[in-house]
Structure 1
Amino acid sequence: MIPLLCLRIRNVFYGSRMTAVKKTIVFGASAIVLSAGLPPSASADDLKVLTAGAYKQVVAAMAPQFEASTGHRIILENDTAGGVARRIEGGAAFDVAIMTPDLVARLVASRKADAASVVNLARVGIGAMVPAGAPKPDIRTVEGLKQALLDARSVAYIDPAAGGSSGIYMAKLFQQWGIGDAIERKAVKVQGGYVGDHLVNNEATLGFQQVSEILAVKGVVFVGPLPAEIQNFTVYTAAIGAASREQAAAQALLHLLAGPETARVLQERGMEPVKP
């Protein structure tokens, strides 16, 4: 029998099409089934992984190998980094949490995560995107990026209030440059998921998010990373839940995610490993 891997991914969409939709993705031999609604409860052999934004693609890519080698099934739930933290603080159970280093440190301080298990897994920078077919602005310099922002009809990024690290950083840049009010008037603030979807839907003409999130969206073109002197890397750090009953399996997953096989997946998705 070919084992099944169930990934439960929560993305929050805003607009007329759907709101707060939960999707269950089931992988078998060659079939993918998508269904809206509440997923099944976790079993004793399930490993519940809560991951922030961009890193979900990496876990999803490595999950089949992990499941085949351990017999455990990954239940993968995704949110912004701040969203994951709020869910855990609100009592959500988890075996592995993958967030930014500061939020993982808070979990350790509150004794919700095992300090000895903490490991940095990857980092990813922020990039710009435009809809497919649109002219690509020159953002190789800070001045070029500022001009592209001012020229754009509308600018999409993760809403800082949602806790997404890229949106928080971009909003700070806008304020530092003295263009915060100008961008605010034409901002499309995305509550979660892919910013690129809002460019595909013609809601915005210029967007910003982690490079890995840009590359995952069909219908947008990656313009390039932020200029090196202002680039901001999001580091993804993992920790095992202090109350997890699957400590050995959780440690095995972290070992896989920090290993050379996952490094190749990171590169394909615009990310890079973090050196110990």
Structure 2
Amino acid sequence: MNRLTLWVAVALAGNASLTVNATEITVMISGGFSAALDKLAPQYEAATGDTVRIIHGPSMGNSREAIPRRLAEGQAADAVIMVGYALDKLQQAGKIAPESRTELADSRIGMVVREGAEKPDISTVEALKATLLHARSIAYSDSASGRYVQTKLFSQLGIADSVQQKAKMIEKIPVASVVAKGDFAVGFQQVSELLPVNGAEFVGRIPESVQYVTRFAGAAVAGSAHQADARRLLSYLASPQVQATIRETGLDTLTATAETAR
């Protein structure tokens, strides 16, 4: 038994009953933490005997895939993992089990270009501004990071009017996918959502002075028959033993920051 398996077994009061009482845990999750869960779910399943069923959807918005709409329409889930302030709204609406919120990770915004393209300089605010002014086209997401790019970043850089006609919000699909196809020259989204896309090359994070940090958190869903199992899964995802894997996906361990969206 390796260290990870041992930790899970102890944390979950492990013994033979773990596999006898195996549960399917349904998790609704938005994009930023998805890569981390994709890596960690198989390890959790192997250690516990439980099955993690993953349903993807945005943290906000009115699309049929959006997590708040899914829950409002009565779709069943045991846990949700999403942008922190969107989770706050679910809690206010009574959709979240009391005292089940678990803080998981922070996510920063990065930029990609098409694989093989020259990587422009975005290491400073002035370099980022120049890159955006010279870019043929700009794509950004329809999530919290994209809304920040659209409503604040362009204005902070003083280029809102200059890029208005060549910048576009990309809905439902990864921003890096349209950059990979050559539809856009540069693309902005949370780093953890950029890295998994083939055909796009990660340039780097935008400078910290104009950065926007999105908090991801999870919670058990009110009314779920598997709330205890959901809480244990979330505890595992927040445990010290899995943080290295989470960082590999482009997320950050939790730190205080003035720009964290919670």
In structure 2, what is the equivalent of residue 127 of structure 1? 110
Encode CA deviations 1:209-249: one digit per residue, 9 max, x unaligned.
Answer: 11112211222221111111111111101110011101221
CA–CA distance in structure 1, aligned partners of residues 128 and 52 of structure 2? 40
Work out the CA distance in 1 between the residues paired with 2:214 and 2:54.
Answer: 20
Counterpart of 2:77? Answer: 94
Residue equivalent to 1:141: 124
Deviations 1:126-149 (A, max 9, x none): 011111221111111112111111
Question: For 1:155-188, what per-residue CA distance to the aligned partner results, in whole angstroms no more than 9, with x for missing partners?
Answer: 11113xxxx1111110022234443343231124
The whole-number CA distance in structure 2 between the counterparts of 1:60 and 1:71 is 16
Asked if residue 261 in structure 1 is aligned to residue 244 in structure 2, the reply is no
Cα RMSD between the aligned structures?
Answer: 1.8
| Deviation of the 1:254 alpha carbon | 0.7
Output the CA distance in 2 between the equivalents of 1:50 and 1:102: 16
Paired with 1:178 and 1:228, the residues of 2 have a C-alpha distance of: 17
How many Å separate the matches in 1 of 2:23 and 2:49? 8
Matching of residue 209 in structure 1 with residue 192 in structure 2: no
The DSSP-based 3-state class of the residue aligned with 1:115 is coil
Higher strand fraction (1 or 2)? 1
Distance, in Å, in 2 between the alignment partners of 1:181 and 1:203 is: 21
Q: Secondary structure at the match of 2:99?
A: helix
Report the equivalent of 1:227: 207
Q: How does 1:188-199 map to 2 (within 5 A)?
A: 188-199=168-179
Tell me the secondary structure at the aligned position of residue 193 of structure 2: helix
Quick one: distance in 2 between partners of 1:97 and 1:271?
18
- Aligned residues with identical type, % of pairs: 37
The amino acid of 1:137's aligned partner reads: P
Which TM-score applies when normalising by structure 1? 0.78
For 1:125 and 1:143, the matched residues in 2 are separated by 19
Structure 1 residue runs of 5 or longer lacking an equivalent are: 1-43
Q: 2:114, 2:181 within 8 Å by CA — same for their partners in 1?
A: no
Counterpart residue number, 2:146:
167
Distance 1:205 1:275, change over 3 A: closer
Q: Count the aligned residue pairs.
A: 229
Gaps of 5+ in 2: 1-21, 61-65, 257-262
Task: Select which of 252, 257, 262 maps to 1:272.
Answer: 252
Letter in 2 for 1:271: L
Check whether the contact 1:188–1:203 (CA below 8 A) recurs between aligned residues: no
Instruction: Give distance in 2, aligned partners of 1:58 and 1:50.
Output: 14
Give the TM-score normalised by the residue count of structure 2.
0.82
Query: Which residue is equivalent to 1:200?
Result: 180
Write the distance in 1 (CA, Å) between the matches of 2:202 and 2:181: 16
Whether contact under 8 Å (1:47, 1:74) holds in the other structure is yes
Identify which of structures 1 and 2 has the higher relative contact order when contacts are C-alpha pairs closer than 8 Å and 6+ apart.
2
Please say if residues 96 and 238 of structure 1, whose CA atoms lie closer than 8 Å, have aligned partners that are also in contact. yes
